[in-house]
Chains A and B, each alone.
Chain A
Amino acid sequence: MQFLARQDFPKLLESLIIAGYQCIAPQIREGAIVYDKLQSVTQLPQGYRDNQRPAHYQLEKNEDVLYFGWAVGVQALKPLTFAPRESLWTAKRDANGKLTFIETHPEIPPTAVIGVRACDLAALHLQDQHFAYNSYSDTYYNARRRQLFLISVDCAFPASTCFCASTGDGPSAQTGFDIALTEFPEGFLVRSKSSRAEAILATLPLTEVSETQQQAALAQNQQAIEKQTRQLPSRNLKAAFFANLEHERWQDIATRCLACGNCTSVCPTCFCHSESAEPTLDGSSNTQYRQWDSCFTLGHSYMHSFVLRDNILLRYRQWLTHKLGSWHDQYGRSGCVGCGRCLTWCPVGIDITVEAQAICGESL
């Protein structure tokens, strides 16, 4: 572990750019934190907190010097690896009716993401398991994933919606990063996990970390854990959910949920997508696209002549029983990393921790 003084932080950005990375980092757009291309550290959201609660998100100016004093933005890594919409291949038909299929190769420059959260890394690991380390490894996902260089920053100020401590995914990054930072007003504690990270760090004026600084990092982590008031039961809820498929709470949720799909689109682990054919007008060429889909749409469970989940109760139930239940069968853990986004961005403020407790509580 080493120390990088705050005034030297811009050098990290310079080194990454010299090493050939485009940098993506948090910035403020229309009142929210989003991840976008970064040219200068002055674009970072310095001195902000995010006030989040179900159906509520507001950035608040705070006079401190911290760049990463907020919790989570709307999205983080998911759009970078699993594109919201992308072309898979193009089919061309010649005058004789012969078809040629041309594979799309996504061209992504090496990309360094600064300000990744522990929950984002955990979600990325789940997406890796789903798309990359599976019986079929997804060439589109892999092409994007391979280019990422990840610089995490531990959370010091979780939002009221955060519950990553209860899912075991935060608030401090343990694994999955190239470089991990812990931020203090005077600078950053720096940890690294990869040799390419060492090469970047070698260009920076790093100093030894004092015993006091190490203690301060531990204390910051402890305080961040204590700030979290929400939690999910840490045990496997699969059996409890599937024993409660007829629980009356589902009907209660169904009267509130609008089936808008906001929760699935902000969730960093949701992987559903649909394919569509988009032919040119003359029909000679067709491009096959895939785009994010949601289990809240009617089309998601369409089966040539009927819709399997034809009401909101069944669709919400599919979402929650998959996310917190059957995900265990697929990837050995729940599909929730406790980022709280689905609470914040739900227009009616449905809280997954409350609903899980209401449905499974008596079965635990």
Chain B
Amino acid sequence: MTQMTVASARARHNAYLPVEAEIVEFVQESQTIFTLGLRLTDPALHAAYHYAPGQFNMLYLHGVGEVAISIVSDPEHEDLLTHTINRVGRVTRGFAQLQVGQRIGVRGPFGRGWPLREAEGQDVIILSGGLGCAPVISVINYIMRRRERFGHLTIVQKVKHVDEFIWPERYEKFKQVPDTTVLVASTEGSVNWRWDVSPRIKILEEVQVRSERTVAMMCGPEGMMQSATQYLTSLGMQESSVYLSLERNMQCAVGHCGHCQFGGQFICKDGPVFAYSEIKHLLGTRGI
């Protein structure tokens, strides 16, 4: 065995064991949101690291613990593994204070990502709500880079407050791309807000479904995803073509610790992306 395959075989052997990564980039996206660009310090492991949009890593902050964060970089076009993180808990607050050059632990990638094969050749609707937009930005970027392989693209982003909307210049650019519709709305507006102000997901009414083979991918609050799905299916979409990224407490990421269970599914390994038809019987049920 070459050095590389030995090393990567060892890394796969125990899925609980992190490997070291260096912070190569740190971008403050908003007051609470930041992006870490990581490189695994073992070059062979870095080169052998493969993932798909929608998958996540467990990031380890030394002495504090681990947290599940989705990978937002493009597996084929970007060298660094990037993770956009919202400062909400103990571990993420610690990550927010790190600097370029510091080391963390990474294990992954875990889970089932977005259905990009299935979406090829079809119209695609991407919808996200609130701060939960990081998982979908990976798929938006992925499609933008390969724009000719997909049909009409509709991007819907709904936030409560205007300051939850990060990357405005990216959305401005998306708008210029042919055959692409961008709908952004905030419940509360502000003086400089150039997009819609509308309650709930009223902007969805502007979405057009041209074919029943349209594929939708969404993330955000479960209630929002549920009503969005019901609306889209009323326009003729199939429940099995609407994909949702779910979130739960995650600790092991390999289907062992039991924290992420959603009915019979382990969100960490059976998800985090599910077809609506797989989870609709429990979605929106309190305490599931």
Please report A residues at the B interface, Cβ cutoff 8 Å: 88-89, 91, 93, 97-101, 103, 130-131, 134-136, 138-140, 238, 242, 245, 271-277, 279, 283, 286, 288, 290, 293, 295, 300-305, 308-309, 313-315, 317-318, 322, 325-330
Chain A nearest CB from B175 CB (Å) reads 32
Contacts of A309 in B (CB 8 A): 287
* Shortest beta-carbon contacts, A-B, top 9: A329-B264, A314-B287, A272-B258, A326-B264, A279-B63, A136-B254, A304-B89, A277-B65, A304-B88
Q: Is B202 an interface residue (CB 8 A)?
A: no
Contacts of A140 in B (CB 8 A): 16
| With A99-B62, A272-B258, A330-B264 as contacts: A301 and B281 at CB distance below 8 Å | no
Q: How far is the CA of A330 from the CA of B267 in the complex (A)?
A: 12
Q: How far is the CA of A315 from the CA of B288 in the complex (A)?
A: 9
Q: How far is the CA of A305 from the CA of B247 in the complex (A)?
A: 12
> Could you say which of B100-108, B139-147, B162-170, B224-232 contacts chain A?
B100-108
A276 near B65 with CB under 8 A, answer yes
Q: Pick from A103, A273, A283: contact of B17, CB below 8 A.
A: A103
| With A286-B62, A314-B286 as contacts: A101 and B256 at CB distance below 8 Å | no
A275 near B264 with CB under 8 A, answer no
A239 (CB) vs chain B CBs: closest residue = B281
Q: How far is the CA of A139 from the CA of B77 in the complex (A)?
A: 34
Q: Pick from B13, B63, B248, B252: contact of A308, CB below 8 A.
A: B248
Q: Is B285 an interface residue (CB 8 A)?
A: yes
Of listed B60, B256, B282, residue having the most chain A CB within 10 A: B256
Please report B residues at the A interface, Cβ cutoff 8 Å: 13-20, 41, 60, 62-66, 88-89, 92, 101-105, 247-249, 251-252, 254-259, 261, 263-266, 269, 281-282, 285-288
| With A89-B16, A97-B102, A130-B256 as contacts: A277 and B63 at CB distance below 8 Å | yes
| With A93-B62, A99-B104, A326-B264 as contacts: A293 and B257 at CB distance below 8 Å | yes
| With A98-B103, A101-B105, A300-B259 as contacts: A283 and B63 at CB distance below 8 Å | yes
Contacts of A279 in B (CB 8 A): 62-64
B107 (CB) vs chain A CBs: closest residue = A101
B249 near A326 with CB under 8 A, answer no
**What are 14 sample pairs from A and B whose C-beta atoms fall under 8 A apart?**
A93-B103, A98-B103, A135-B254, A136-B254, A242-B263, A271-B256, A273-B257, A274-B259, A277-B63, A303-B249, A304-B92, A318-B288, A322-B261, A328-B264
Interface of chain A, main secondary structure: mixed
Q: Pick from B64, B105, B254: contact of A99, CB below 8 A.
A: B105
Q: How far is the CA of A131 from the CA of B62 in the complex (A)?
A: 27
How many pairs of residues, A versus B, come closer than 8 Å at their CB atoms? 133
Q: Pick from B105, B247, B281, B287: contact of A317, CB below 8 A.
A: B287
Beyond A89-B18, A277-B63, 14 additional pairs, beta carbon < 8 A: A89-B17, A91-B62, A93-B103, A100-B20, A134-B256, A136-B15, A138-B254, A274-B259, A275-B257, A293-B258, A308-B248, A315-B287, A318-B287, A325-B264
A98 (CB) vs chain B CBs: closest residue = B103
Q: Pick from B14, B60, B251, B286: contact of A91, CB below 8 A.
A: B60
Contacts of A134 in B (CB 8 A): 254-256
B253 (CB) vs chain A CBs: closest residue = A136
A275 near B251 with CB under 8 A, answer yes
Chain A nearest CB from B262 CB (Å) reads 9
Contacts of B19 in A (CB 8 A): 101
Q: How far is the CA of A290 from the CA of B17 in the complex (A)?
A: 13
